[in-house]
Copies of this chain bind each other. A is one copy, B any other.
Amino acid sequence: MSDKNLPNQVSANTLRRLPYYLSYLKTLKNTDVSYISAPVIASELDLNEVQVRKDLAAISSVAGKPKKGFEIDVLINDIQAYIGCDVNNCGILVGAGHLGRALLAYSGFEAYGLNIIAAFDSNPAAVGKDIAGKSVYHTDALLDFCKKTPVTIGIITVPAEDAQEICDLLIKANVKAIWNFAPVKLCTPDGVIIQNENIAASLTIINKKLAEQF
Residues on A lying within 8 angstroms of B by beta carbon are 2, 8, 10, 12, 15-16, 18-20, 22-24, 27, 44-46, 82-84, 87, 89, 98-99, 101-103, 105-109, 111-114, 132, 152-153, 160-161, 176-177, 179, 183-185, 191, 193, 195, 197-213
Contact = CB atoms under 8 A, between A and B. Distances in A.
A152 B211 CA distance: 12
B191 A213 contact: yes
Contacts of A211: 84, 87
B112 A106 contact: no
B89 A204 contact: no
Given A2-B212, A101-B102, A204-B112, A198 B16 contact: yes
Task: Determine which residue in A84, A101, A103, A204 has the highest number of CB atoms from chain B within 10 A of its CB, and name it.
Answer: A204
A20 B210 contact: no
Main SS class of interface, A: helix
Contact of A184 (B16, B23, B102): B23
18 contacts: A12-B205, A15-B208, A19-B198, A20-B183, A20-B184, A23-B184, A27-B161, A84-B208, A87-B207, A87-B211, A98-B107, A99-B106, A102-B102, A152-B210, A179-B203, A195-B205, A197-B199, A197-B202
Contact of A109 (B83, B203, B208): B203
Contact of A23 (B106, B114, B183): B183
- Report, nearest first, the 9 A-B pairs whose CB atoms are least far apart: A102-B102, A84-B207, A98-B105, A112-B203, A16-B201, A19-B200, A19-B183, A193-B209, A45-B185
